[in-house]
Each structure stands twice: as C-alpha cells, then as structure tokens.
C-alpha cells in the first residue's frame, strides 16, 4: 500500500533552488534512508513532506490525499518527525513530553495517554526516566524520548532528520539500536542519515540525493555494492565504503 507519493517537488530559497523536481513513493512498512552530502537537499525534502518547509511547486499525497491547508493538521499528526536537536519541552518531565500532544491534539484522556506513553518509553528503554526533566538526560536519552513521543501519536509514518548528528559518538549507537528495533515492527520510516552502515543494514531502500535531485535509488546492496553514478561512488569513497 502506497502511503506517500511526491510528484515533481521543487523548493527554492530566494534564487537558490534546493529541490529541483523530486519524484518519490513510499509504501507502508518500508524503511527508506536518504543519503547525500551536506547541502544536497535531504533535510529540505524531509521537512517539505509535512510542510515544515512550504514547497515552491509540486504535489505531495499522503495516504492518497493531496496535502494542503485543509488537511495539514491531520497529516502532521499522522506523519510525525524526530528532529536533530530533540525539540523536547524543558519545563516538562519525560512523561508529560510524551502525553501533551495525544491529550491536546488527539483528545485522548489522561490515563490512556499515560499508559500509551509508558508503553512507548519501554520500547526505547526510557521508562525509568518518566519523572526526569530533559536537562537531566544525555543527548542519546533525549533522542529516545523524542522517538517515544512520536510513537505516542500512533503515526502512520515517522520522519527522522539526521537523528544522531547532534550526539556524541558514544551515544549514537543507543539511538540507532532503538531505530533498528522500530524497523522490525513494520513502522514506516524515512530517515535522513550520515550513518552509512545503519542505512546499509536497516533500509529497504536507499536514496542518494545530489544537487536537489534523487540521483540514484535502490536496495542497500545496489547502492553500496554497485553504485552507478560517479558522484555516488565519490560520496561513498569519502565514507570508506568502496
């Protein structure tokens, strides 16, 4: 089942055309990783899906419906995002960070929201920290709470925007391990990442974005073991993969 479809998506900032015509479809349960150099358009593509960046032109369909102002709130609820810098509420404890959106946006009662949040915090091994404030957590712990918060909205898809880029190296593994386990549950995920081994081992499909276009896409084996474009071979060579 196709959950997301993008047709000729373009995005410019002033005279700088960052996305130059992206076509993409993602099926339910698929894990798609987006790789590419800094400035290639990866994060802009991800942020355009739920209109954190407003596209200059093109169409985005979510579960068959065109994404526009009339249904944007619902799309954002069903299409959650995990950011580089966590975006947790520092004045709330971990549990309240995970329950505020289900209560306010989904009109869930407090007990149900709490039960769901605790269940999701268990999935990311953060249930012991429900009373902690984000300021008392490590970067890796904050990111795992952010993942539990996204899960607590019962989304159809989660977008991950370089979720480990703000972490110290020793904390990267715990977040990636959490995402590996989520991938096994059938959750649909689109992940912008610089972690090549993670993309290689977890993804159903990998997209290489270069200069605002999807230059190459395929299975991890195709992308990492048999890259076709010279630019992708160069990119992977920098990371020591080929």
The pLDDT, as a whole number, for residue 241 is: 52
Alpha-carbon span 209 to 9, nearest angstrom: 13
Alpha-carbon span 69 to 162, nearest angstrom: 27
The pLDDT, as a whole number, for residue 242 is: 47
Nearest to 47, CA basis, from 5, 74, 79: 79
The pLDDT, as a whole number, for residue 239 is: 63
The pLDDT, as a whole number, for residue 97 is: 97
Residue 31: strand pairing partners: 189
**Bridge pairing between strands 79-82 and 65-66:** unpaired
Nearest to 79, CA basis, from 20, 7, 152, 157: 157
Could you list the mean pLDDT of each consecutive 10-residue stretch along the chain, which spans 242 residues? Answer: 95 95 96 93 93 94 94 93 90 96 95 97 94 94 94 95 84 86 90 91 94 96 94 84 50
The pLDDT, as a whole number, for residue 233 is: 94
The pLDDT, as a whole number, for residue 167 is: 83
Contact assessment for residue 99 and residue 117, using Cβ atoms and an 8 Å cutoff: yes
Alpha-carbon span 137 to 171, nearest angstrom: 12
Considering the entire predicted model, what is its pTM?
0.92
The pLDDT, as a whole number, for residue 170 is: 78
Contact assessment for residue 188 and residue 29, using Cβ atoms and an 8 Å cutoff: yes
Q: Which helix (H) or strand (E) holds 112?
A: helix 110-123
Alpha-carbon span 139 to 150, nearest angstrom: 17
């Amino acid at each position: 089942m196709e959950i997301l479809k993008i047709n000729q998506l373009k995005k410019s900032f002033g005279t700088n055309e960052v996305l130059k015509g992206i076509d993409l479809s993602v099926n339910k349960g698929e894990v798609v990783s987006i790789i590419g150099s800094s400035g290639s358009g990866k994060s802009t593509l991800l942020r355009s899906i739920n209109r954190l960046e407003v596209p200059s032109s093109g169409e985005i369909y979510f579960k068959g419906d065109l994404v526009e102002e009339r249904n944007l709130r619902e799309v954002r609820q069903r299409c959650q995002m995990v950011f580089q810098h966590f975006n947790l509420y520092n004045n709330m404890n971990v549990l309240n960070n995970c329950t505020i959106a289900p209560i306010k946006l989904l009109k869930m009662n407090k007990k149900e929201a709490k039960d769901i949040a605790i269940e999701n915090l268990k999935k990311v091994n953060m249930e012991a920290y429900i009373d902690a404030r984000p300021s008392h957590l490590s970067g890796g712990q904050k990111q795992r709470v952010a993942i539990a918060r996204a899960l607590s909205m019962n989304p159809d898809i989660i977008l991950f925007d370089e979720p480990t880029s703000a972490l110290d190296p020793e904390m990267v593994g715990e977040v990636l391990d959490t995402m590996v386990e989520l991938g096994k549950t059938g959750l649909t995920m689109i992940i912008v990442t610089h972690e090549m081994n993670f993309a290689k081992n977890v993804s159903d499909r990998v997209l290489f974005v270069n200069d605002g276009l999807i230059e190459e896409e395929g299975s991890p084996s195709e992308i990492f073991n048999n890259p076709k474009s010279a630019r992708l071979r160069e990119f992977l060579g920098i990371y020591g993969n080929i």
